[in-house]
Amino acid sequence: MSATSPSTQSEVPLSSVKSPKHAGDVLAWVAVVALTGLAAFLQLHAITVKSLWLDEGASITFARLDWYNFLRIMWRREMNMVLYYLLLRGWLHFGDSVTFIRGLSVIFASAAVPAIFVLGRRLQGTVVGIVSALLLAVNAFQVRYAQEARSYSLLVLLLVLSAYFFVSAVPSGRRRDWNWYIGISTLAVYAHFFAILVVLSHWGALRIARYIGIASDTTLQAKSNRALRLTILWTLPIWVFIVTTGAGPIAWIPRPGLSDIVGLFKKLSGNAQTPLLIVYSICVAVGLLARIRALRRRESRATNNIVLICWLFVPLIIVLLVSLARPVFAPRYLMISLPAWIILAAEGITSFRPRALGLIATVAIACLGIGGVWSYYKLDFDIVRNDVRSATNYILDHAQADDGIVFYSLSTRFPYDYYAANTHAQTKPHILWPGSNSVLVWRDFMGVPPPARVPKFAEGHDRIWVVTTPMPPNDPKFAAFESALSQYYRLSDTMDFPAVRVTLFTR
């Protein structure tokens, strides 16, 4: 008799045999982990090189306010991004270096890589998921906002998760998926108001699917309507805030033109480089054609195709239409469509025939994308960064006892406070506006210093520093303020830094 009988051989458990599908999943996740590591490296590299600018300084200042003043300023002016400010409040208890503060955004941006893989796999398959993760990891727009103490990387992560639960809830109808979708979509809106445009694109996608006969289930439509209503209900404080506050907080946004739209897609592709935009646009166009063909064939994932297309275009169309009356077009606000742009490009890459073309396109986007990231390390491509760090160092190096300082552009005080608190300078000017050397309160975040306050500023101060951002030509308020100063002081020195001007007035 042989050592191993047939009956013994049959007792080997089938679960111990690795199936090709299981092995493929393991390899896919190994690739995703590696891509997440690549993303984290790109996001952490040179993270402290650039100065905190005005918006980042505002984030830190808001997060450090006591609860009363925090809630007051949120309700009066800064409700947008309130979720991020709350998270930052907790985060600052564990550290306050620039790396640590910006590191919160790095965590969200890195987590978005496996999240977009899961979403891409759910929408179009594993290969699309992996390519999407790669494209997001090397995207300079994503890296740029991973290195900023603002809510944009959190917003992208939440919108990817929201879309995942939406495309899970549509075919399954499970209440659990719909509840997760509603909860995460609500958090996304609290991270940034524009997230509601993506929720509307989801709702519109189902309406379109029903209109063309792909999704005729009335129960599904009812659940989608309920999800939209509940999301709006749970974010009601935001809509009350918008109605009562008006457009003041975004009055700086200019009316968009064709060049702004092209610039947006350059940024979504990863830095403002034309070759990268061309390659991306070809891939996205191929992906769109593949999705349209799938719609015509009434494939099982046809609704997912509409969701992806609506996610890319509906927010942009709504923003452009609203901008006809009140400009609201800002490229960083439209990062809400970045995941859709990337997944459609990944779909196009996997649709190329022969497949070698897809590999060439992937390598081209990866190389050009990393080049865009390296270019961003040297120079910002979407803002003129206020170099308050250099301005602060200059002021503290030249300050004398009993100097006063006025932040005519009040938001320049926010990063100044951070850098001044983290230096060993023995002499620091006495802050005259906004607020004082004491803790800021919510009223200090409003307006510019009136000329009538200049006599009070002049008491006990032979020298006054004035810090501004680039002022509009012939600004009457600033001209009146300078005229009032000239009655007590003469202009002694002016030093310009990127997007910051420091002026010294002496008796």
Q: Is residue 89 part of a domain?
A: no
Whether residue 446 sits in one domain with residue 368: no
Q: Is residue 83 part of a domain?
A: no
Helix (H) or strand (E) holding 356: helix 355-378
Query: pTM, whole model, 2 decimals?
Result: 0.93
- Which one is predicted more confidently, 89 or 445? 89
Whether residue 407 sits in one domain with residue 339: no
For 502, the 3-state DSSP assignment is strand
Instruction: For residue 329, report the phi and psi dihedrals to the nearest 5 degrees.
Output: -85, 110
Whether residue 417 sits in one domain with residue 453: yes
Query: How confident is the model at residue 437, as a pLDDT?
Result: 81
Residue 81 pLDDT greater than 90, yes or no: yes
**404 DSSP β-pair partners:** 430, 464
Whether residue 286 sits in one domain with residue 357: yes
Which one of 324, 351, 378 terminates a domain? 378
Whether residue 33 sits in one domain with residue 134: yes
Query: How confident is the model at residue 21, as a pLDDT?
Result: 72
Q: How confident is the model at residue 215 (pLDDT cuts 50, 70, 90)?
A: low
Reading the block at residue 62, the tokens are: 């808001």
Query: How confident is the model at residue 2, as a pLDDT?
Result: 45
For residue 415, give its domain range.
388-506
Which one of 337, 354, 378 terminates a domain? 378
Residues shown for the chain = 507
How buried is residue 75: exposed, middle or buried, by Cβ count under 10 Å (0-12/13-18/19+)?
middle
- Which one is predicted more confidently, 28 or 294? 28
Q: How confident is the model at residue 3 (pLDDT cuts 50, 70, 90)?
A: very low
Q: Is residue 70 part of a domain?
A: no
Q: Which residues of 200-209 are buried (b: 16+ CB within 10 A; e: fewer)?
A: bbbbbbbebb
Question: Do residues 202 and 339 make contact, with C-beta atoms less than 8 angstroms apart?
Answer: no
Please state, for a pLDDT cut of 70, what percent of the chain lies above it.
94
Which one of 322, 347, 378 terminates a domain? 378
Q: Is residue 88 part of a domain?
A: no
Sequence-ordered alpha helix ranges (H) in 125-217: 126-137, 140-146, 152-172, 175-191, 195-211
Give the count of domains, the chain. 2
Q: How confident is the model at residue 218 (pLDDT cuts 50, 70, 90)?
A: confident
364-369 mean pLDDT: 96
Mean pLDDT of the chain: 91
Q: Which of 78-82, 92-96, 272-276, 368-372 bottoms out in mean pLDDT, i.e. has the lowest?
A: 272-276
Per-residue pLDDT of 420-439, as tens digits, reads 999 988 899 999 999 888 77
Whether residue 311 sits in one domain with residue 290: yes
How buried is residue 49: exposed, middle or buried, by Cβ count under 10 Å (0-12/13-18/19+)?
exposed
- Which one is predicted more confidently, 304 or 462? 462
Whether residue 208 sits in one domain with residue 347: yes
